[in-house]
Structure formats: C-alpha cells, structure tokens
Structure 1
Amino acid sequence: MTRRFQVVVIGGGQAGLAAGYHLRRLGLDFVVLDAQAESGGAWQHPWNSLHLFSPAAHSSLPGRLMPHQTGEAYPDAAHVVAYLRDYEKRYELPIQRPVRALGVHRDGELLRVETDSGTWHARAVISATGTWWRPFLPAVPGRAHFGGQQLHTVGYRQPRDFAGRRVIVVGGGNSGAQIAADLAHDSELTWVTQRPPRFLADDIDGRALFDAATARRRALDQGRTDTGGVASLGDIVAVQPVREARDRGLLKASPMFTRLVAGGVEWADGTRAEVDAIIWCTGFRPALSHLAPLQLRGRRGHIATVGTRAVAEPRLHLLGYGDWTGPASATLIGVGRPAREAARETADLGA
C-alpha cells in the first residue's frame, strides 16, 4: 500500500511529538511513524532509578506543561511516559505504530519512505529517531576475550541484579555517574573514566544547561566567541543520588584501563582487577540508518545541516539528535524551538 502526505515524521518520541504539534498548528497533512509499540519513545526503556535533571515545569514540550509528580522534585521516567502518552492524545497526533522505517529514497519531486508496513510518499521528511537505539561501544583491546558479563547503558535496569558482584562502570558522563551511584551501595564497584570526573555545581540543573546551550548557539550564529556551552560547566549533573554517593566517598573514579583479559581488566602499569561485569556507559550515536539511501553522510558520518535542514537534501530535516540539530534539541524543553523551525520550513516547501 502507498500513502501520500505533505510530511512524514519518522520517530514518535519527544522530538517526533514536538514536530507533530507544530505541523498540526500549521494545518499540514502529516503522519508520524513510530517503531515502538507503545507511547513514550526511549523513556520506556531506561534504568529504574532514572529521573529528569529539571523540575516538571521546565521539562515540557510545546503547548502543554508537564504536570508535577507528587513526591518528586524531578520526575521519573514513568511520569515522562505518561506525559508523552497524554500529549499525543491531547493533540490528536496521527501516529502509526509499530511502523519501522527501512529507508528514505528520492522519488522525483517527493521522498519515498519504505517501511515494514508499506510505503509513504511525502513532500518533506522529518527524521526524529534519536540515539537510544544505537549504543556506542569503544574498541578496547581484549573485549572479546573477557569472560564476564558485558552490557551497555541500555541493558542496565537495577542494582539488585549486581548485588555482591565485582562491577566496573565505564564512563564519566551522566549515565556513568548515575549508574555508578546506583551500584555503589550493594556491589564491589570500580568506576573508571577517561579523565577526572567534572561535577557541575550542586545548584545547576537542566534549566541552566538549556540556557547555556542556547547562549552558545546564539553566540555562534552571531559570529561571537564560542562560550563553550554545557561543556564549559562540567560533565555530570549532581542529581541527589550522585551527590549523596559522592559526598560519602563512594564515587572515586579510577583512570581508564588499557585492555580486558579473561577474568578482568588491566591498567597501563600492569595492575589487574578481577571483574564479574562491565557496564559500558559510553554514549550513543544518531540512529540514521534509514537515511542511508540518500547518501548524505560526510567522511566522519555526519550529515551537514543548516538548522535542522539537511544541506544536500532540503526536503529532509533532522530533529532531536543534539546541538547540531538545535540547541539542547535532545531534551524535552529544548526540542520545541527547532521543531517549530522544521515545521515552518516544510510548510514553505509548498508555498
């Protein structure tokens, strides 16, 4: 079956919903294709203790404030899922799920979206698939020879799964610090980072991070000196569990090991540690395999954009993958503005 719309949005998480909100306001004929069976995007899948960095009122998509979660200053993932479910119903967003996009192709004046449920044609495509679905694992010597358990952030759920075990958490970002704090009480934890961890000041949360990212983008757009954005403040938001573990001396980072061996890891000086499990909190890459037929990636795998619009294919917009597709666009509060710009530009294609 072939269907035709003005715009096809690929991805039904927070970025796809924000795009849908603005497309609806502009009166465009569009559809949102979501590979997930249920509402909530990647928020359905993180570890059990994950909370937002910001209060609910500062974690909202356009048009609808996130309600306060009783008993929680910073909402948990389940609250976010409920909010996103309500959001798509409130605005009657036309979401098809589960529909997995397999490839986007040029087809004359239109773009053709091939999926596991048929074919869609559109004047424009907004890709909003995020990064959760493409975890990154570094090439560390000996990883294939390690005999213990290995998993990425996406596979971690709760500390009781590792109680009493010797665990290494790799990564000096937020996920690494939060999972290390989660495990610090009931397991034999070693936290390793490429460089000494940089904690943000305890009073800084997602609101300040959004302001910093926005100020950096504004400075760059105006040709002024790069402010450094969020990276200038630090790497780790000191949420309450992280603060408590840090202040109790449970979050002491060790340098990165140089290789894995059958029973554990080895550092540059020859020191070894026996390990039962390694959790790689080493980040993600944009999930863009569905765009491969367009052949837009440069030498480093990056798709060049102006704002959200792909330079080499102006009918394509990329939304929610990070600052390169809009300041703080991978966050709930930050995705609204680039979503509005992407929707307006797709509307202009038919003007």
Structure 2
Amino acid sequence: WPSLKLSTVNRIHDLPGMQFSEGVDTDAAEVEASVAVPRYFAAYEEAFGLPVYRPVKVAVVCERGGRFRIETDRGNFSARGVINATGTWETAYVPEYPGAGRFGGRQLHTKDYRTAEEFAGRHVIVVGGGISAIQLLDEVSRVTTTTWVTRRPPEFRAGPFTEERGRAAVAMVEDRVRRGLPPNSVVSVTGLPVTPAVEAMRARGVLNRLPMFDEILEDGVSWPDGTVLRADVILWCTGFRSSLDHLAPLMPGEPGGGITMTGKLATQVAKDPRVHLVGYGPSASTIGANRAGAAAAKELVASLGLA
C-alpha cells in the first residue's frame, strides 16, 4: 500500500553480490516500499544481466515425457526442474464467520487498503495480529475510532530486528516444515517490534486489543458473551494463501491440506523433488527467500547433474 515506507518494514535483505543501498537511497526513509523494492530488483537484474521475461502468465505446469511442460501466454517451455516463487499476494485470506454476508458496512483486506482518510468518521474493526495489522491500525486510528481484534494475545519484541534474529526466526519455522508440520505464522516467531510508533499507539490506547468475535451482524459484530460492537468497516489483516493453482497437475493437495516437503530441504516437494517452492513458510521473508533460493538452486544443479 502507498503508505508502507522503508522506515516501517522489518528489513529488506541484500541479494547476493549487491547491497540494497546500492540500488536504493536507504537514507530516504519515506521512500515507498512498493517503489524501492522493484527499483532494487531492477538494478540487480541489470547489474548481473539476468534474462527475466515479463510479463508472463503461467497457466499450468505438467509432466510430459519425464520433463516439465510450462504453458504460458508467451509460449510453452520445457524444463527438467522448477523453482516456484509466485508468492501469495494474489490470494488474500479472509476467514469465514457467521453473518459475513449480511454485514451492511464495508469489508476489505490488507491487499485492498490504500489510505486511512477514506475511513474518516467511521468506526473500523482491524482484525489480525501481524505487523501489517499494527501498521494499518496506527494509520486508521489517527483519523477515526478503531477496535483491534486478534485470535491470540499479541507478543511484542523489544530491540531491533537484526539479521541474527531473522536467521533464528527462519530456522524455527524451517524446523517445523522439515518435520512435516504446518509452518507457524512469521509473527509467531519474530514477535511484533516495539517501535516508537507502537509506543505512541500504546499511549493513545489504540493497542487495547479484544479477542475474536464469533458472529458478524448487519451493523457490527458480537461475542459469545452477548457483547455487541457497532462498526462501519471490518479491515481483515489476516494474511494470504499460496498461489499454486498452476501446479495442480503435479501436486494435488494432501487430504488434510497443504503440500508435504521432503525434509531434506524445506522447499523441496515430497511428491516430486524436482519442484521447489520458495517464498512460503520459512522462506516467506526476504532473508529466508534469499537463503532458500540459493539452496534450492544448488540442489537442483547437483541432482540434475548440471554442475
């Protein structure tokens, strides 16, 4: 969203061989993250002469004669291995709650958010316990009244988010994936950073959080004890789900949902080890994706005899 600045993101990890500051003026804290990150990636592609094709829409990936056939809107490709890094931004997740369809106000997701000013004069319920929820709660609470709702009590973390902390967080999530368990959310292992903005929110009483409601009404929400809260807007900061429909022929989901990894690498798909999923679970952050992408590439080069 436009108001997400470099000063409010956790950290953009350097790509191999080129520091983030080489592609972006990191001293300009008010640079929009949506501008700075693509600018850095573009500078990286140019510096290393990477042949990136865009825009390309992949319709489906399937197996043909022992190789992968990738069908796109710019022609078909054949490959011996696939590293999928399509991310999650296209698949916003909004949990189902009774009464959601009858709510007379506005419901939107983080993905749809633009500016806080559009909510002036309306009471906004912000749902979610992640960093995005905190940032949007801060912005919206400056122009109107808000209520913060989360499933679990939030855990705040003092001190800067260092590279060491980032690696430790990635390792914790990766350990669960290697053991065949669903990954926890990123914030469950990183905690919420206590920034000056968070301290100011505390002082304003904005962080007085409530547990999740259990029903949505025409003009608000209600809790099991009968408490009712009137609201005009519900802002769902509830994360995203993987965008992997194009891989469906290769890996139908498990009976309980999700995709099982090999355990050798947290990116390697058990049903077809030639496929790696980078940018999910432990590799959802820039530091995690950096390390996981390198490991996946090395594994494919070795296993396919390309070295």
Structure 2 unaligned spans of 5+: none
Partner of 2:256: 300
The reply to whether residue 331 of structure 1 matches residue 288 of structure 2 is no
2:114 to 157, 168, 184: 157
With normalisation by structure 1, the TM-score equals: 0.76
1:168 to 100, 125, 134: 125
Which one-letter code corresponds to 1:347 in the other structure?
V
8 Å contact 1:69–1:75 — kept in the other structure? no
8 Å contact 2:106–2:234 — kept in the other structure? yes
**Structure 1 counterpart SS, 2:79:** strand
Partner of 2:48: 91
**Structure 1 counterpart SS, 2:167:** helix
Partner of 1:109: 66
**Structure 2 counterpart SS, 1:338:** helix
- Over 3 Å counting, the alpha-carbon distance change for 1:128 and 1:216 in structure 2 is same
8 Å contact 2:70–2:78 — kept in the other structure? yes
1:279 to 235, 243, 248: 235
Q: 1:278, CA displacement in angstroms? A: 0.7
After TM superposition, the structure 1 = structure 2 runs for residues 150-299 of structure 1, keeping only pairs within 5 Å, are 150-201=107-158, 203-205=159-161, 207-216=163-172, 235-299=191-255
Map Cα deviations across residues 182-234 of structure 1 (whole Å, 9 max, x no partner): 11111111111112221111x132535313224537877999xxxx9976756
Which one-letter code corresponds to 1:321 in the other structure?
Y
Partner of 1:66: 20
8 Å contact 2:93–2:241 — kept in the other structure? yes
Structure 1 unaligned spans of 5+: 1-45, 324-328
**Structure 2 counterpart SS, 1:293:** coil
With normalisation by structure 2, the TM-score equals: 0.86
Measured on the aligned residues, the alpha-carbon RMSD in Å equals: 2.7
- Over 3 Å counting, the alpha-carbon distance change for 1:342 and 1:215 in structure 2 is closer
- Over 3 Å counting, the alpha-carbon distance change for 1:274 and 1:221 in structure 2 is closer
Q: 1:73, CA displacement in angstroms? A: 9.2
- Over 3 Å counting, the alpha-carbon distance change for 1:206 and 1:50 in structure 2 is farther
Q: Structure 2 CA distance, aligned partners of 1:346 and 1:271?
A: 55
**Structure 2 counterpart SS, 1:95:** coil
The reply to whether residue 315 of structure 1 matches residue 274 of structure 2 is yes
Q: Structure 1 CA distance, aligned partners of 2:96 and 2:185?
A: 28
Q: 1:310, CA displacement in angstroms? A: 1.3
- Over 3 Å counting, the alpha-carbon distance change for 1:74 and 1:149 in structure 2 is same
Q: Structure 1 CA distance, aligned partners of 2:221 and 2:170?
A: 41
8 Å contact 1:200–1:233 — kept in the other structure? no
Q: 1:49, CA displacement in angstroms? A: 2.8
**Structure 1 counterpart SS, 2:249:** helix
Kindly tell me the number of residue pairs found equivalent between the two proteins.
294
- Over 3 Å counting, the alpha-carbon distance change for 1:75 and 1:146 in structure 2 is closer
Q: Structure 2 CA distance, aligned partners of 1:273 and 1:222?
A: 43
Q: Structure 1 CA distance, aligned partners of 2:91 and 2:285?
A: 17
Q: Tell me which stretches of 4 or more aligned residues in structure 1 moved more than 4 Å.
A: 217-223, 228-234
